[in-house]
Structures are given as C-alpha cells and as structure tokens.
Amino acid sequence: MDSEQARDAAGIFLGCRVTGLAMRDTLPDRCLPRSLADGYAVQRAMADMSKDTVVGWKIAATSEAGQRHIRVRTPIAGRLFESRVHRSPAEMALGKNRMAVAEAEFAFVMSSDLPAREDAWPVDEVLAAVATLHPAIELPDSRFTEYTRTGSWQLAADNACAHEFVLGPATDADWRAIDLAAHPVTLWIDGQEATTGTGADALGDPRAALAWLANNHAVQGAALRAGDVVTTGVCGRPSRIAAGNHVVADFGALGTAEVTLT
C-alpha cells in the first residue's frame, strides 16, 4: 500500500467519524489493506490527517472474549484521541455507537519514553517507565456496520475500533505490589453486575499487555511517550449498554471509573 492509498482510506474513515455514517464490511478495493502493516499505515495516515491530538493508545482483542466479539485471533493497537478521552465521573451521549458495549480495563500513564529499538522491551523495563495506574472504561465502536466480518487488517485501519474512553483517577494503592493478573474487576450497569473478570483477561496480565504494546510500536519504528495513556483491554467480557445507563468499572482497592450515558 502506498501513501496515496493509505490517505485515501484514512479520508474515508475520517469522513465516517464526522458524519456518523458507516461502511458495511469493506473499504473500496482501490485502498483495501492487504496486510496488517497496511492497516497500521492507514491508521497512521488518519492520525496525521486528523485535527485531533493523539494522547495515548489502546489494545483491542487482548482477551478471548474480545477476540470472539470481533472475530480476530491477535491483539490490535489503536490510538486514543484527545477529544474522545473523558475523566471519570463522565457523562456522554451514546449516540450512534453501533457496538454499544462497555469494557472495564486497566490503564497506565507513562512517565518516560520507550523508544523503538531492536531488542524487545521486557516487562520490568516497561513498568519502570510507568507513572500511574488507573481504572478505566472503554466504549469502542467501528466505522463498519458488519465489523465482525472485516478482519484484523481493516480493523487496524479502523483504529482498532477506538471511540470513547473514560479514565478513572490514578489509584492510591501500591499497585506495583499487587498481582494485577489475579486482581478482580467487576463492571456494573445500573447497579446490576454485568460481568466479572481479572487482569489475566488482558493478554494474561495487563503489565504484559503494556509490554506488548511497547514492542508492537518498536516493530513499527514508533515509540511510547511520557504522558501517553495506554489502556490494555477488557477484563471480563464486553457488556451491552444503552442510553440512560450508569456504568461503573469497580477495581476494588484500585478504585473505580464511571460514566453516565445519555
């Protein structure tokens, strides 16, 4: 895929973001990604063309439930845009969100850069570059109506289904002393338990998911930067939501994130 094709596809996605319209299950053949690298090239072009600021990253499909939800077999990285990141407690319109699910996720904020390099970043070095841990809620969406049929390459181009994101307050707990893989998480919708999970749902451990993202960036010649927010994938399962719902991601001693949908 050349740069003109990537910008062509990126323009289509940006148009969908502005209008709220969506494609069915594929981009036009003239700008169709033929590999995961092509998909990420489209995503980069979209970020370059957007007037929004990238403030962090998400990882889609880090759990079996998440992979089943969008019918992929590997994680996919996407960008978080400033206009779509909200501080908890948040209130927002669900609007035309086609996925209409909420996901409880561990999120990290970086304290220093992790530049691209040939050697893989080990988990301990990645964690040394983290400032804070946060409970979070992701409300993903796709620019495809039949997003379960598009495949990994196009979902990467579609920014890994990034949409709205709610960042809870930094935890006061000594999270570095906690086994995050075993840590329980509950998502509540209107006071009813919607799903439960643990940190192990995110690639076995949210800390490992964070390292995966750092190394996925390195493969692309990119870097994580100080101040970046990184959300590591759903704990439990994606849970159905509707306008009027009050959604709370409960991480116990690590805190909560919440959003009211209008």
Say which CATH topology domain 53-261 has. Answer: Fumarylacetoacetate hydrolase; domain 2 (3.90.850)
Continuous segment of H or E residues that includes residue 25: none
Strands 90-92 and 256-261: parallel
**Of 90, 87, 99, 10, which Cα lies nearest the Cα of 46?**
10
Please tell me the distance from the alpha carbon of residue 105 to that of residue 95, in angstroms, as a whole number: 22
89 prior amide bond cis, ω within 30: yes
Please tell me the distance from the alpha carbon of residue 2 to that of residue 217, in angstroms, as a whole number: 20
In sequence order, which residues have a C-beta less than 8 Å from that of residue 1 and are 6 or more positions away?
31, 33, 34, 35, 37, 38, 41, 42
Taking a C-beta distance cutoff of 8 angstroms, is the pair 189, 239 a contact?
A: yes
Sequence-ordered alpha helix ranges (H) in the chain: 3-19, 36-49, 64-70, 123-128, 151-157, 206-219
From first to last of the 262 residues of the chain, give the pLDDT tens digit: 999 999 999 999 999 988 888 999 999 999 999 999 999 999 999 999 999 999 999 999 998 777 887 888 889 999 999 999 999 999 999 999 999 999 999 999 999 999 888 888 999 999 999 999 999 999 999 999 999 999 999 999 999 999 999 999 999 999 999 999 999 999 999 999 999 999 999 999 999 999 999 998 755 667 899 999 999 999 999 999 999 999 999 999 999 999 999 9
The domain locations on the chain are 53-261
In sequence order, which residues have a C-beta less than 8 Å from that of residue 138 and are 6 or more positions away?
58, 102, 103, 105, 163, 164, 165, 166, 231, 234
Report helix, strand or coil for 135: strand
pTM of the model: 0.95
CA distances from 171 to 61, 109, 233, 240 (A): 25, 11, 18, 26
